[in-house]
Copies of this chain bind each other. A is one copy, B any other.
């Protein structure tokens, strides 16, 4: 008898964990992703800030599934789902499934503002990380060609929209790149002409954390010379400026957008019911209502923690995606064995964010860490989780190098030709 085929759309943390959970189940697993690699997104900002190379945080999906004898991979962009015919639709053609797991993650949300999308850079994908790096360095190089101080200030103002973990980490990293490294590269740089601005609509940064940690993070950012603008909403962005709601104009040649995120297009394309942020509505089992062989997990899924508050969607975090992936793997194993799907329960392992050198915040149950202790915790957890032993060695060397020599070695502007 032919084994049922489980198609997993997306090779991120959710999809990959799901494939692993199915290792011993009598099914054929097929992972599909538009990239041929799995990305360790927590360190993407370090690629963007010239500390790591792409190969340190990205690994070929085919390599990662080598230990899974029943798994294969195909590279394709996913365009929709034909539920009736049980086919995943891709730019290379349809793929038949018996079970389908949608795990295509999230993307930047520009709230339908095309100028915002055009004039700012997101930080979700590897190529965006490289684009941010290229752009920061290019702004500095361009600033050496102008004798007009106002133009130079505009070129050297780096605005980061969004005070969540990504925005905070990126702001800290940009500030350190400039103050500790680029200052030595540009001897005649007037540091008064350089600004790093972090813009957040809420009255605090890192809203997911306890107030004391939010406050610690804000102080740490300001100690690093970052202008933290709270209660501020980006309203418009042009090539050379940013306007806040209320009218304040900030001349800037570079805006990094981390202030909005929504699920990938697949939910809309598949015509299923959506929750907030275009996330797919799911049953407590993570099945899509009315489609018992189709699951959605991770950032794409609008899963609720029913046991807790019944209403709020689970946050878009890696542990949620991984636990959901594991859960769905187990559910499919049960379904294959003629059993039923169980409800998903998220176990919160804690959250953390780093502000830079010697400074991070971590909230693990009732343990709240900030400053150096938080930073050591952050370092340890992230180093252990980097996806391969080789990468771990290389990342460790790069981190030690930066720490000891105040250097970010990958300060090269390189664009890949097609």
Please list the residues of chain A having a beta carbon within 8 angstroms of any beta carbon in chain B: 35-37, 52-56, 58-60, 62-63, 66, 72, 74-76, 92-93, 121, 126-128, 130-131, 134, 137, 141, 144-145, 184-187, 388, 390-391, 393-394, 397-398, 401, 407, 409-418
Contact = CB atoms under 8 A, between A and B. Distances in A.
Contacts of A127: 414-417
Interface centre among A53, A127, A417 (most CB of B within 10 A): A417
B412 A60 contact: yes
Given A390-B409, A397-B394, A414 B58 contact: yes
B413 A35 contact: yes
Contact of A416 (B55, B56, B131): B131
B412 A59 contact: yes
A55 B185 contact: no
Interface centre among A36, A59, A121, A187 (most CB of B within 10 A): A36
A137 B410 CA distance: 24
Contacts of A58: 412, 414
Give the 9 A-B residue pairs with the shortest CB-CB distance, closest first.
Answer: A53-B53, A62-B185, A55-B410, A130-B416, A131-B417, A37-B412, A53-B55, A75-B141, A60-B411
A186 B145 contact: no
Interface of A is mostly: mixed
5 contacts: A53-B53, A60-B185, A74-B141, A74-B144, A390-B401
Contact of A54 (B37, B391, B407, B412): B412
A184 B53 CA distance: 24
A52 B121 CA distance: 27
B128 A417 contact: yes
Interface centre among A52, A60, A75, A401 (most CB of B within 10 A): A60
B411 A414 contact: no
A127 B144 CA distance: 24
Contacts of A92: 145
Contact of A397 (B60, B390, B413): B390
Copy number in the complex reads 2
B59 A414 contact: no
Contacts of A417: 121, 127-128, 130-131
Contacts of A397: 390, 393-394, 397
Contacts of A62: 185-186, 411
B74 A416 contact: no
Contacts of A409: 55, 59, 63, 388, 390-391
A118 to B, nearest CB: 12
A388 B37 CA distance: 28
A131 B53 CA distance: 16
A92 B185 CA distance: 20
A273 to B, nearest CB: 32
A205 to B, nearest CB: 27
Given A35-B413, A409-B390, A418 B145 contact: no
